[in-house]
Amino acid sequence: MIYPDLEMEIPQSLGRVHFVGIGGSGMSGIARMMHEAGVPVTGSDRSASYTTEALERLGVRVSIGHDAANVGDADTLVVTGALWQDNPEYQYALAHGLPVLHRSHALAWLARRGRLMAVAGAHGKTTSTGMLVTGLIGVGADPSFVNGGVIESLGVSSGSGSGELFVIEADESDKSFLLYDTAVALVTNVDPEHLDFYGSREAFMQAFVDFALGARELLVISADDPGTREVLAALAAAEDGRPRPTIRTFGEREGADVRIVAIDDSGPVKFTVEVEGERYSSQLAVYGRHNAVNAVGALAVLTGLGYEPGAALEAISQFGGTKRRFEFHAEVGGVRVYDDYAHHPTEVAALLDSARAVVDEGRLIAIHQPHLFSRTSMFHREFAQVLEQGADHTVVLEVDGAREDPVAGVTGELVSNDFADASKVAYVDDWQRAADYLAEFARPGDVMITMSCGTVYRIIPQVVEALRGRFERS
């Protein structure tokens, strides 16, 4: 993995820019905005995807596969943190003295002239950012933005607006969220993770304290989450002389500045929220109690900026979801197939709880791809617990190691072995066998959900084809 240099001075002019790993949701959004701003952009990725194809349609040259020759006449290299150190394009740039920017540096370069609004947290960042962008557009603010996922109603993960606000999803995994000159910060929750990078829980929590203190104008933060309450306590106790932003809290907890007083999550989620003594009700197009909380976080930001609560909530309610967040893909033989980015036990539990609203009389079948050897080693028991409690049956695939080297003994079987009831889980280390198993196991009315921030969404065509083989051709 390549970590950002937080002390690096970002060049004013980048010249021709080559993106290594351009197909990632965040990287593609940054590349798209640079291209639209007139910066000559090229890129490469290990495989083609809808994001690389979308960039090519805009006129960006994208090479599939990594090779030093792809760098061409680029003046600056932009890399994703998930890159291996031995990547030939990265090594070529080092050998030839080309400036190498981490993705977060490129994002900071894009946002340097805007009034920056950064969304951070262990879970819910992409959805909250999408809701915030949707809400701001709805009240006429016309922000620029870079999100970690495609906003369905807009069809893009990034966009250049005419307003002063620039909204980003800020990544805490490598401390890069501390790079930005943040005016307004939204913190959804603080659930300690990425300890392989931070080294300790204390260092992780301190990074969020520093992020919160870095907000020059406004900090909007969850009143419900134990981690955010710990951050708030640290802010109150800090005696470093740094100025404090205006703090606004949101959630279900008594005393929250923007407080949820009722939630109905039996379908697309409905809720009532209280702002300064007045109550407002809304229904979203998405499912799940957690999305009511995400929406109220966005509402706390908009009202903190001075927008009228009713109009702001109406604008936020137009949010229609983001790609890879409970995204519907197909229905075959009465079996519906969805995909989601959930990759932490807390996220998986929230996803499965939300999915129950669409299952009806069928069964909820989870297709879990563990992501990273370090995360699997740390959380395999917790994954097993939430999957066993929340799903009727789970298929566990092999670990997607992404940027990490394999670790002996750390496989998907660690998760399946921790199920108390072995009949509720199957560990299948081959995708085609997994697809065939799922098709044979399925019956009309079932809902299947792939879940991981890795490559698991790519199994969906195999699952759909196997379902067709059983239900349509028989």
The 10s digit of each residue's pLDDT in 220-231 is 999 999 999 999
Stretch 395-424: mean pLDDT, rounded?
91
Task: Answer yes or no: are the C-beta atoms of 120 and 301 closer than 8 Å.
Answer: no
Question: pLDDT tier at 113 (50, 70, 90 boundaries)?
Answer: confident
Rg (CA), the chain: 22
Question: pLDDT tier at 473 (50, 70, 90 boundaries)?
Answer: low
Given CATH 1.10.3720.10, say whether it is the number of domain 327-471: no
Instruction: Please give the Cα distance from 471 to 268 (Å, whole number).
Output: 29
CATH fold, domain 114-316, is UDP-N-acetylmuramoyl-L-alanine:D-glutamate ligase (3.40.1190)
Percent of the chain that is helix, strand, coil (3-state, to 5): 40, 25, 35
The 10s digit of each residue's pLDDT in 250-277 is 999 999 999 999 999 888 899 999 999 9
Q: Does the annotation mark 36 as catalytic?
A: no
Q: Does the annotation mark 169 as catalytic?
A: yes
State pTM to two decimals: 0.78
How confident is the model at residue 301, as a pLDDT? 98
Better-scored residue on pLDDT, 286 or 294: 294
Sheet architecture: strand order including 447-451: 327-332, 335-340, 447-451, 364-368, 393-396, 425-427
User: Which residue in the block uniquely carries the two structure tokens 């870095």?
Assistant: 214
Indicate whether 385 pLDDT > 90. yes
Angle between helices 431-441 and 460-471 (to 10 degrees): 40
Tell me the H-state helices in 37-74: 50-58
Q: Measuring CA to CA, how many Å separate 60 from each of 53, 167, 231?
A: 9, 24, 42
Instruction: Please give the Cα distance from 279 to 295 (Å, whole number).
Output: 15
Indicate whether 176 pLDDT > 60. yes
What is the enclosing helix (H) or strand (E) of 205? Answer: helix 201-213
Instruction: Please give the Cα distance from 151 to 130 (Å, whole number).
Output: 6
Q: Name the residue among 317, 383, 396 with its Cα closest to residue 346.
A: 383
Stretch 404-412: mean pLDDT, rounded?
89
Fold match between domain 17-102 and domain 327-471: no
Give counts: helices (H), strands (E), the chain: 15, 21
Which sign, positive or negative, has the C-alpha torsion 235, 236, 241, 247? positive
Task: Answer yes or no: are the C-beta atoms of 107 and 168 closer than 8 Å.
Answer: yes
Q: Does the annotation mark 152 as catalytic?
A: no
Considering the domain 17-102, what is its CATH architecture?
Answer: 3-Layer(aba) Sandwich (3.40)
Instruction: Please give the Cα distance from 199 to 298 (Å, whole number).
Output: 31
The 10s digit of each residue's pLDDT in 296-320 is 999 999 999 999 999 999 999 999 8
Angle between helices 25-36 and 103-110 (to 10 degrees): 40
For all residues of the chain together, what is the average pLDDT?
91
**Distance, C-alpha 383 to centroid of its chain:** 18
Annotated active-site residue in 42, 80, 169, 249: 169
DSSP line for 268-288:
EEEEEEEETTEEEEEEEEEE-
Count of alpha carbons within 13 Å of 455, Cβ hemisphere only? 16
Annotated active-site residue in 52, 125, 182, 252: 125
Indicate whether 130 pLDDT > 70. yes
Instruction: Sketch the domain layout of the chain as residue ranges.
Output: 17-102, 114-316, 327-471
